[in-house]
Structure 1
Amino acid sequence: MDPFLGRGLFLGMPPLFTIFFLFILGLIIFSIIQSAKNYHKNATSPILTQHARLVAKRTEVRHYTHHTSDNNINGSSITYYYATFETDAGQRFELTLSGKEFGLLSDGDVGELTYQGEWFKAFKREMY
């Protein structure tokens, strides 16, 4: 008789559940690794300052619904703020900003943009 028979992690669970569980676990691990790689890439990028113009701003609102045990539905949302800048060389890139930084910028603003990888650091508007 197999000494490990009856001691398995997924004992008594249907094989489909085991496959589904392992798939979800794999997705979570993959997501964590991708996030860590992206963070490392940005953290090791040089901090650059370039003359740039704000081309466009946009927001993205993500809604979340939570079901409570007493059959109530609670909702919440998170707003993400983005700004697209264009350098004098014609390079365009989009950076994520905080709501406060987003509110201080207007389309067409020109100035010195400081960023690190995909991280927005600062924007000093030129005074006309």
Structure 2
Amino acid sequence: MAQSIARPAMLAVAGLIAILPLSAVSCSAAQKALDCGNTAVKITGDINEVSNAYSNANNDAAAAGQSLQKLKNDLDQLGKNSKDTDVAQAITDLSTQVDKVQQAVNNKQVPDFKPLGDAASNLTKVCTG
């Protein structure tokens, strides 16, 4: 009788061993999607703050600078925590665009927000593609 129980148990263990690598891949993809989702939410909020602060820059120029610095800090942190090279590169590209907006603001020029939006859109594509 013990032999009849042992065989199904061994088959179940063998089945689990065969399934585990597949679930690890699924978890990896799910973790990337979750990380990207969290990144997108954080970055979208930061970009909205930059846009709103710049729109109101005549009223509070310091707010525009503070919101850009917050976005830079968040991008730095997200870049350090990203384990996916494509996501990390998209974050680096977005950081470059943030620096360009900061330079324009520092030079009292009207920043071009289109490249910033394009870089944010690219991050979304990397996360979903």
| TM over 0.5, shorter chain | no
The structure whose residues are more often strand, as a share, is 1
The structure whose residues are more often helix, as a share, is 2
TM-score, structure 2 length as denominator? 0.32
TM-score, structure 1 length as denominator? 0.32
